[in-house]
Structure 1
Amino acid sequence: MTDSLPRLRRTLDWVQRPAMLLAALLIFLMMFHVVLDVLSKYLLNQPIVGTLEIVSNYYMVAIVFLPLAAVQLQDGHVKVEVFTTALPPRLIAAFDVFAMILTLIYTVLLTWFVMVEALEQTGIREKIQVGIELMPVWPARWFAPLGAALFGLAILLSLAGAVLRVRGLDATTPGKESDEWTA
């Protein structure tokens, strides 16, 4: 199992990289869009119609969900370690396993529910009123299940590494025994 973790991580890196790049591009586009809207509003007295709707229905959803897997793979999520700092690394890994199992359950449920919602909204071709026009928003519904599913895979990979640490194996060095219970 330890031999396959680095390969699985590289595969997940390769799969989630386009999602992360899309989120980065959308941050730039959102910034450009909002700046143009503000300039147009104050210099030309004519704001760009639909800026708020596009920002809230497209940009923000993608920016929140698509990078989740990359953040997990970099171990970048917030951890509160006030009570665990002095514990041995294997015991900390046991707490990590528990937390990741809970997170995985939540993420699977989240992925399921947002997938169902995306399917329903795609089926009815969901639109919202923007000025006097209707703007389709159903495509943006797919950012959430995609990001949540990738996050779930990243959690699963992190969970496997934490389980190996609990068992006394170093997840970064295949087969290496670790004596961390007494550290």
Structure 2
Amino acid sequence: MSNTRMMNEWFGRVVDGLNAVGSLLIFAMMVLVCADVASRSLLNQPIYGVTELMSLSIVAIVFLQMASTLRHRRMAKADIFIEKYITTSPVAGHVLSAVFSLGGILACALIVYGTYPLWAQAWHANEYIGVQGLLTVPTWPVKTVILIGGSATGIQYLIDALQDLASASVHYKERKGG
């Protein structure tokens, strides 16, 4: 097995692990919301901080699951157009798909670039959300997840772009007879 293939499989396990953590977080959110509803109904007492935890968790889930979603070809994009184009003109279709992936790399790079200063500020200033005395939650862990998830998704876009360019090259050589 080549080093590239081993790295790709290893990376696939990492992004699928992030996806699993996101799924566990969804389950934890469901349990927390049900407990809050039960507490409000039965005890007439809410669980403090549920709203804050939900808002942070939703962002974390998106970034934990984004790279795996892309890896398994479940990311919303113009697949109908691109797949038809790959079928009718494989070289141009794969090059176009690679260009879309390069756009994804750029978007992820901008997310990471824009989030890093916010992460550093949250880390150094001990930034939190919530109501002091009831429940406070630091924001840096979610910003860390954004950095990790954005980076992993950017890497997955790079892998996709390289695979598309390799496919375009193979189809080009086949078309030229070599």
- TM-score interval, normalised by the smaller of the two chains: 0.7 to 0.9
State the shift of 1:155 in Å: 0.8
Which residue is equivalent to 2:20? Answer: 21
Distance 1:82 1:15 in 2: 29
| 2:77 pairs with 1:79 | yes
Match among 133, 141, 144 for residue 142 of structure 1: 144
State the shift of 1:149 in Å: 0.6
TM-score by length of 2: 0.85
Distance 1:137 1:55 in 2: 13
Which residue is equivalent to 2:90? Answer: 89
State the shift of 1:74 in Å: 0.9
| Amino acid corresponding to residue 90 of structure 1 in structure 2 | V
Which residue is equivalent to 1:121? Answer: 122
| 2:41 pairs with 1:42 | yes
| 2:53 pairs with 1:63 | no
Task: Select the structure that is richer in helix.
Answer: 2
Structure 2: runs of 5+ lacking an equivalent: none
2:170 partner SS: coil
Cα 1:83/1:10, change in 2 over 3 Å: closer
| Amino acid corresponding to residue 109 of structure 1 in structure 2 | L
Q: Which stretch has the larger CA shift, 118-127 or 72-81?
A: 72-81
Structure number with higher relative contact order (C-alpha < 8 Å, ≥ 6 residues apart): 1
Structure 1: runs of 5+ lacking an equivalent: 170-176
Q: Does the Cα contact within 8 Å between 1:100 and 1:159 map onto a contact in 2?
A: yes
Q: Does the Cα contact within 8 Å between 1:127 and 1:134 map onto a contact in 2?
A: no
Q: Does the Cα contact within 8 Å between 1:107 and 1:148 map onto a contact in 2?
A: yes
2:77 partner SS: coil
Residues 81-127 of structure 1 show CA distances to partners (whole Å, capped at 9, x for unaligned) of 45442532322211101111111111112112112211111110101
Which residue is equivalent to 2:9? Answer: 10
| Amino acid corresponding to residue 22 of structure 1 in structure 2 | V
Q: Does the Cα contact within 8 Å between 2:109 and 2:154 map onto a contact in 1?
A: yes
Distance 2:63 2:158 in 1: 17
State the shift of 1:20 in Å: 1.7
| % same residue | 24
Residues 144-167 of structure 1 show CA distances to partners (whole Å, capped at 9, x for unaligned) of 001001111111111110010111
Q: Which stretch has the larger CA shift, 100-109 or 74-83?
A: 74-83
Distance 1:141 1:102 in 2: 22
| 2:54 pairs with 1:52 | no
Q: Does the Cα contact within 8 Å between 2:48 and 2:134 map onto a contact in 1?
A: no
Which residue is equivalent to 1:174? Answer: none
Q: Does the Cα contact within 8 Å between 2:94 and 2:164 map onto a contact in 1?
A: yes
Q: Does the Cα contact within 8 Å between 1:88 and 1:180 map onto a contact in 2?
A: no
| 2:18 pairs with 1:30 | no
TM-score by length of 1: 0.83
Cα 1:113/1:167, change in 2 over 3 Å: same
